[in-house]
């Protein structure tokens, strides 16, 4: 049992292992229920008769194998949704941390520019920073040559003038 728990990552705190979410576990439990019902060999008529005390003609026509198969497939579908939710949640946390780290570095290092905006060997060096501030709740850097870099929804963007940046942001 302990080996099975270790295989599924229960009890481990290692951040590099995949931790199953509640939805995945619910799906796997439904799969187990479906397999148990399929392998038990009981028919739906037997179960209904035992629970209610009399046989129901509507239940007699339903195949236990079909119900078991549908339960198994539904459980696998729910487990897959849980895995996707866990995976996309991990991606979201990763991208949030990258954006936070980049913003922190921009605030502390005045010469920092993301790779797309870094001057290459053939381009001219960045002009001197004159002012930093907010333009309609967006961080900006004003340079000595009058150009301005503004953090937009599309990322860091450079404009030739303050007026052009304000027009773009709206």
> What does the pLDDT average to over 46-59?
73
Give the SS3 label for residue 162. helix
> What does the pLDDT average to over 48-74?
78
Asked whether residue 118 carries a pLDDT value surpassing 70, the answer given is no
Domain that includes residue 43, residue range: 17-108
Distance CA 162, CA 115 (A): 23
Distance CA 6, CA 170 (A): 54
Asked whether residue 18 carries a pLDDT value surpassing 60, the answer given is no
Task: For 85-115, write each residue's pLDDT tens digit.
Answer: 888 888 888 888 888 887 777 666 655 555 5
Top pLDDT among 57 and 37 is at: 37
Tell me: do 162 and 101 sit in the same domain. no
Tell me: do 101 and 45 sit in the same domain. yes
Q: What element of type H or E holds 107?
A: helix 64-108
Q: How many domains does the chain have?
A: 2
DSSP annotation of 160 reads S
Tell me: do 91 and 43 sit in the same domain. yes
């Amino acid at each position: 049992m302990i080996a099975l728990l270790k295989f599924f990552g229960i009890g481990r705190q290692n951040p590099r292992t995949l931790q199953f979410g509640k939805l995945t576990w619910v799906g796997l439990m439904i799969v187990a229920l479906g397999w148990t019902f399929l392998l038990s060999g009981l028919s739906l008529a037997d179960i209904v008769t035992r629970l209610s005390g009399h046989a129901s003609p509507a239940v007699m026509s339903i195949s236990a194998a079909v119900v078991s198969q549908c339960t198994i497939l539904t459980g696998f579908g729910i487990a897959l949704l849980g895995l996707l939710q866990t995976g996309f949640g991990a991606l979201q946390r990763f991208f949030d941390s990258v954006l936070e780290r980049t913003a922190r570095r921009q605030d502390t290092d005045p010469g920092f520019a993301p790779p797309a905006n870094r001057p290459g060997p053939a381009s001219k060096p960045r002009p001197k920073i004159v002012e930093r501030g907010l333009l309609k709740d967006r961080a900006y850097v004003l340079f000595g040559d009058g150009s301005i870099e503004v953090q937009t929804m599309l990322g860091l963007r450079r404009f030739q003038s303050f007026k052009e940046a304000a027009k773009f942001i709206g």
